[in-house]
Amino acid sequence: MSKGPVVILTALNLEYQAVRQKLADPQVHRHERGTRFEVGTVQGTSCRVALGLTNKGNHSAAVIAERAIQEFSPVAVLFVGVAGALWDTTRLGDVVMASHVYAYHGGTSEDDGLKARPRVWEAPHGISQIASHLARLNDWADPAPGHEDAPQIRFGAIAAGEVVQNSRISAEAKWIRQHYNDALAIEMEAAGVAQAGHLNGASVAVIRGISDRADGTKNSADDRNWQPRAAANAAAFATRLAVELAREEEETAVPRDDRIRSADRLDRHVSNTAHHSTIGIMAGTVTGSSVHLNTAPQASGPTDLIAELNGFREQLGRHRAEGILDEDTYREALTDLDSALRSAGGNTPETSKRTAMTLRRLRGLVAECPALVTALTPLITAAGGPA
């Protein structure tokens, strides 16, 4: 279980400030490559948040998201800000949480037109469940003087591309609404953050306040009015969600000391029982009065770890041959595995940390293959990192 903070990222300074106002005593945390985060707690709670600014675009967002994940090992990554609505059914000021994210600029240009080839990332089930619960409670929004209608939470697809959309009649606008007609909102960063989370095994949620309709009516006056309100609404829901995520993490995590004490009690119980009675054991051995239970393989040194990693390569090959892993995922997995093998031969804290970090990223890459995830977990521990 991660004991890190919840990471919240934004693309615009306006969005950053909306989240920062929700934090108590934010302190600067500098990444070794110069990226600056601020770490504080959500006001009135013990929920720690690491806040970062990505700037515009999926590429920048992906890089900063990966840095945040590697730096903080977060409970989750929340990308928070404003977006344009694709349909009139979503009101200005409402908040859209992505059920899934489309990277809509994937495609192939053919004689009869542009064919969509999107990449899609679904929101983690656990986060979606918590968000739906908060939406039902409907106690997250800040009071807005002069506005009778409270913002509502909408759940649906969000489309993320590389250009600002502000038309309903342009060829691209029509194409997007034709091929992604279930998308509620459109923006420019969610795909990058979702990909970073996927490759690093981190849970990602995208939360957007609706500040315009992406239909040609966007103007400076409306931006001055609706952008702050939409950003504030998104920040209010995101920090409420962060508190619930942190609370659930605390409730489900078992302290390491408690696990050790439980294991010691089990060892004493089994040893005492072995002296006085007959024990039936599946997949274990008994030597004298000592009972040995089979456990997940643990590497005892760099050589053993390298052998286990080479064995994992064979498992990857079998999953690819059986069609469980697609070719792109298989190649990315091999790249991470080779990187882990290179660092596994070292015998320093830095190389151990690098190996464990790479293996955690690899585990996120193959997260849809339970057998591979199970095989990687003891290897991460053997490399010297938390599983």
pLDDT tens across 202-225, in order? 999 999 999 988 877 776 666 778
Contact of 249 with 135, CB cutoff 8 Å: no
Asked if residue 275 belongs to a domain, the reply is no
- Please compute the mean of the pLDDT values over residues 264-287 and round it to a whole number: 47
Share of the chain above pLDDT 70, in %: 82
Q: What is the dihedral of CA 290, 296, 301, 306, to 10 degrees?
A: 150
Same domain, residue pair 243 and 361: no
pTM over 0.95: no
Same domain, residue pair 228 and 349: no
Q: Determine whether 332 is exposed, middle or buried from the number of CB atoms within 10 Å of its CB (0-12, 13-18, 19+).
A: middle
Residue whose token pair is 């013990």: 46
Number of domains in the chain: 2
More confident: 294 or 191: 191
More confident: 105 or 297: 105
Neighbours of 126 (CB within 10 A): 12
Looking at 252, 270, 285, which one is the last position of a domain? 252
Same domain, residue pair 337 and 214: no
* pLDDT, tens digit, 9 for 90 and up, residues 44-101: 999 999 999 999 999 999 999 999 999 999 999 999 999 999 888 889 999 999 999 9
Residue whose token pair is 């390298």: 306
Same domain, residue pair 96 and 197: yes
Asked if residue 259 belongs to a domain, the reply is no
Same domain, residue pair 51 and 115: yes
Looking at 218, 252, 286, which one is the last position of a domain? 252
Asked if residue 266 belongs to a domain, the reply is no
More confident: 238 or 354: 238
Same domain, residue pair 243 and 332: no
Asked if residue 58 belongs to a domain, the reply is yes
Q: Give pLDDT, residue 367.
A: 81
Same domain, residue pair 217 and 313: no
Asked if residue 269 belongs to a domain, the reply is no
Same domain, residue pair 199 and 308: no
Asked if residue 262 belongs to a domain, the reply is no
Same domain, residue pair 185 and 314: no
Asked if residue 98 belongs to a domain, the reply is yes
Query: Which residues constitute the domain of residue 201?
Result: 6-252
Same domain, residue pair 218 and 310: no
CATH classification at residue 168: 3.40.50.1580
With a cut of 90, say whether residue 133 has pLDDT above it: yes
